[in-house]
Structure 1
Amino acid sequence: MFFHYLKYFLFHFIALLALFSILLGGSYISMGVGAILMAYIVGDALGGDDISTPDFKAPSILTVQLWLALPLLSLIVFASIWSVSSSDIFGFGQYFTTLTGYDLLAARDAASWVHKFSTFIVVGLMIGMTGTITAHELTHRTWDPVSMLIGRWLLAFSFDTIFSIEHVYGHHRYVSTINDPATAPRGRNVYFHILASTIKGNVSAWHLECERLAKFGRGPFSLRNGVIRGHLMSVLLVVFAYLIGGLEGGLFFIACAIFGKSLLEIVNFMEHYGMVRNPKVPVQPRHSWNTNKRISSWAMFNLTRHSHHHADGNVPYQDLRPYADAPMMINGYLTTILVALIPPLWNYLMVPKVLAWDEKYASKEELILAKKANLNSGIPAFVKATEKPLYN
């Protein structure tokens, strides 16, 4: 049983690997990126599925695991901004050089642009993984103010505190319908989805927050508005980044934050791509793409068990069920992200999956919606499929 608690610390190990690779500098940064990518991609390819459903007797341990993400991500971002700046804020580099005997300042100054680009990649990944994935779990715990506060600060690192509003109160209501900004319709390009979902998600969050405030007789333009307050949290982080690393550090952080936000939208893209749902029918496990790949599950707090999560968003991550009969993604999360970034490959692999979803999972009403989605997709395989008796 101890192992089932321990396996979720894989998340923290990966975050620490990212932190130490940044501090060591030079080629260690690029090796760190490579190690993280290989851990997920090869681990999921060889590790098989995890369909265990243990009964945890001490869930508070698993909550503390989530809370640890904030100090971890803060250290990673601080170290990265320090690594791309020309100053030694707080004497950070000199202190650790004296403490360890490893010349952090020399390693930083000798880093080439390739390794600095690797720093950007690893920090963007950590903002998306250490930040957003953990915040996703925490901000669903609307009954726990500590978890909500930590979750929103984690989201501030990707300029996406509105996620705690739109995702919980919008996306979960409208998922797999045309009213959901995060659900990508058939034929949509992932790069367009990043932009469209970001804009529509912010608009949706603003409307939701205005509706909430109106119930208390309050206007939208105040710090009581979670959208405004949340974006100010992100602005504060940008200011800190500027104070730590100057203009270079501030711009670097902004770039990493945008990358981290983009990762979220890519994940939204692949979690619900092509799904349709009769709006009159409650959300069911069949309305989300699922995966039970072992490494993704352990290192992402069971975000992989997305089908159960959408069927009941209040279930803590450790209690989510694998739903082995749910519609399955291409592979684990990072592998599927990489496939999504290559639209021709994505269409080659996903179009047959979406059409198979129609045949196996769609209701009669949803087949009507699916036919319309196929015709509007602009993808020949989808359009041709509408000729089959299934859709008539």
Structure 2
Amino acid sequence: MFKYAKYTLFHMLTIPFAIGLTLGGDWMYLGLAAAAGFVILGDLLFGDDTVEPVYGHEWILNLQLYSSLVLIFAMNFLMVWTVADIDVLGYGAFVQQLTGYDAAAARADNTLLQYAVAILSCGLLSSVVGTIVGHELTHRTWDPVAMFIGRWLLAFSWDTGFSIEHVYGHHIYVSTVGDPATAPRGRNVYFHILASTWKGNISAWKLEKQRLQKKRLPVFSHHNLYIRGLLMSLLLEIAAFAMAGWIGVLVFTASALIAKAFLEIVNFMEHYGMVRNPKTPVQPYHSWNTNKRVSSWATFNLTRHSHHHAEGDVPFHKLRSYQDAPMMVNGYLTTIFLTLIPPLWNRIMVPKVLDWDRRYATAEELELAMAANKRSGIKEFMQQDYRELIAAKKSGFEKTAKAA
């Protein structure tokens, strides 16, 4: 039974957040402290999860995924409730009746710093509960229920375009210069958040426009999934305004943008520095992988990214651990924090990318890597000369071809 229960970890991470917002004051730090502390320490202490069990009751797993929509509504409701002038839906009165604690009155003493940390917590958890689960569900393009729930989950980060660009763009162009989500060598994470967001949305619009044109449907119409997605997010903004006016809109928008930023940070670290000819098939080594136990449980095996890109239609519970794939520094949250310090990130990742070149890259990819190294602006990359290695790999390929 534990093989099912372990994927409720992300549900559990929302409980300290909800308690903290309800109690107010310094308790508002609880959500971020609990999530970051548990996941980072868990990855450091509990090692890897490489088991690949068989699941006979997939409906349980689907229920866990679908329940994310309830959680993300509840989290964002509480976040906006904390800044409202009224006790929206009588939540404070309910808490007081249940526990005797005046949660509605406690909001008056919250500080800007406490609100800032709470919004950061909401953004982080929305990226876990919303974006990660939305990613899994919107890959199930054949399932209208999964697509409906997945797109609403993504609406909480103003990112329903992800359901278009990721499936029909990123998975085709991953690790190439044409992929907005793949960070080239030398790019820092802060620029990547902006560049990938901008280019990813342009790509989503173009892909949806092409789809509609092929079906001879009007682009500016209810048929346009990109436009409908924007309207879904706008509806959530209107709900935030109805609850708490413009401060509610500000709080919801800030949380949404933080959740989107976390997605782009994850994109940054999942494919940083990798190269591929878009005409060649995607292989497991074109993604950074990690099998850290707690990260895997908290993200529905998103950590098994190498298999995910090799076979994008495989559901999360059937993803293999691919222990011979190129590995990240550590688990997801640890790696996220490392990206935020570019000098430290470069110190750790430049040697790993160079090792990727020598261990995994084909002769053609080494030529692409040399060009990427020159563009990087980083001395350690720019000093590399792969001509001998390219010749050796080409020679080895020729010998293998003759033997075959």
TM-superposed CA distance for 1:143, in Å, is 1.1
Shift of 1:383: 0.3
Are the counterparts in 2 of residues 16 and 72 from structure 1 also a CA contact under 8 Å?
Answer: no
CA distance in 2, matches of 1:280, 1:294: 34
Return the offset for 1:391.
Answer: 5.2
**Secondary structure, in 3 states, of the residue corresponding to 1:56?**
coil
After the TM superposition, which of the residue ranges 262-271 and 30-39 deviates more from structure 2? 30-39
- Structure 1 residue 31: deviation in Å? 2.5
What are the residue-to-residue correspondences of 1:33-52 with 2, within 5 Å?
A: 33-52=32-51
TM-fit CA distance, 1:334:
0.5
State the 1:100 CA deviation.
2.0
Shift of 1:7: 0.5
Q: Would the aligned equivalents of 2:306 and 2:325 in 1 still touch at CA under 8 Å?
A: yes
Which residue identity is paired with 1:74?
Answer: F
Are residue 91 (structure 1) and residue 93 (structure 2) matched?
no
Q: Is 2:189 aligned against 1:201?
A: no
Q: What residue is the counterpart of 1:371 in the other structure?
A: 370
TM-score, scaled to structure 2: 0.95
SS in 1 for 2:140: coil
Residues 287-326 of structure 1: matches in 2 within 5 Å?
287-326=286-325
Mapped to 1, the partners of 2:324 and 2:313 lie a distance apart of 21
Q: Distance in 2 between matches of 1:216 and 1:278?
A: 30
The Cα shift of 1:171 comes to 0.3
The gaps in structure 2 that reach 5 residues or longer are 392-404
2:189/2:268 contact within 8 Å kept? yes
2-structure distance, mates of 1:260, 1:200: 18
Q: Which amino acid aligns with 2:26?
A: S
Distance 1:29 1:302 in 2: 29
**Separation (CA, whole Å) in 2 of partners of 1:117 and 1:279:** 42
Aligned-pair distance for 1:106?
Answer: 2.6
Aligned to 2:398: none
How big is each residue's C-alpha offset from its partner over 1:268-302, in whole Å with a ceiling of 9 and x where there is no partner?
00000001012221101000000000000001000
Give the alignment of 1:259-298 within 5 angstroms. Answer: 259-298=258-297
- Secondary structure of residue in 2 paired with 1:385: coil
Aligned to 1:18: 17
* Matched residue, 2:175: 176
Q: 1:188 matched to which residue of 2?
A: 187
What residue identity is the alignment partner of 1:142?
T
Displacement after TM superposition at 1:389 (Å): 3.3
Output one character per residue of 1:76-112: Cα deviation in whole Å (capped at 9) or x when no partner.
1000101122221222212221222111113222222
C-alpha separation in 1, matches of 2:283 and 2:81: 46
User: Are 2:16 and 2:30, in contact at CA under 8 Å, matched by a contact in 1?
Assistant: no
Residue 345 and residue 391 in structure 1: after superposition, are their counterparts in 2 closer, same or farther (change >3 A)? farther
Deviation for aligned residue 1:388: 7.0
Residue aligning to 1:103? 102
Measure the CA separation in 1 of the matches of 2:309 and 2:15: 30
Alpha-carbon distance in structure 2 between the residues aligned to 1:250 and 1:279: 41
- Aligned match of 2:66: 67
The DSSP-based 3-state class of the residue aligned with 1:150 is helix
- Give, in angstroms, the shift of residue 11 of structure 1: 1.1
Find the aligned partners of 2:254 and 2:239 in 1 and give their Cα distance: 15
Q: What amino acid does structure 1 have at the position aligned with 2:202?
A: V
For 1:375 and 1:32, the matched residues in 2 are separated by: 43
Q: How many aligned positions are there? A: 391
The question of whether the paired residues in 1 share the 8 Å contact of 2:48 and 2:293 is answered with: yes
Aligned partner of 1:7 in structure 2 is 6
TM-score when normalising by structure 1:
0.98
Distance 2:160 2:236 in 1: 12
Match of residue 135 from structure 2: 136
Instruction: Quote the RMSD (CA, aligned, Å).
Output: 1.1
2:336 maps to which residue? 337
Residue in 1 aligned with 2:52?
Answer: 53
Identity value in percent: 57
SS at match of 1:280: coil
Query: 1:117 aligns to what?
Result: 116
Structure 1, gaps ≥5 residues long: none
Q: Which residue of 2 aligns with 1:258?
A: 257
Structure-2 separation of matches of 1:138 and 1:329? 25
Preserved contact between residue 367 and residue 386 of structure 2 (Cα < 8 Å) = no
Cα pair 1:375 1:386 within 8 Å, conserved: no
AA in 1 matched with 2:216 = G
Q: Distance in 1 between matches of 2:287 and 2:122?
A: 28
Cross-structure match for 1:232: 231
C-alpha displacement of 1:303: 0.3
Distance 1:255 1:386 in 2: 45
Amino acid at match of 1:312: E
**Partners in 2 of 1:96 and 1:353 — Cα distance?**
51
Alpha-carbon distance in 2 for matches of 1:339, 1:60: 37
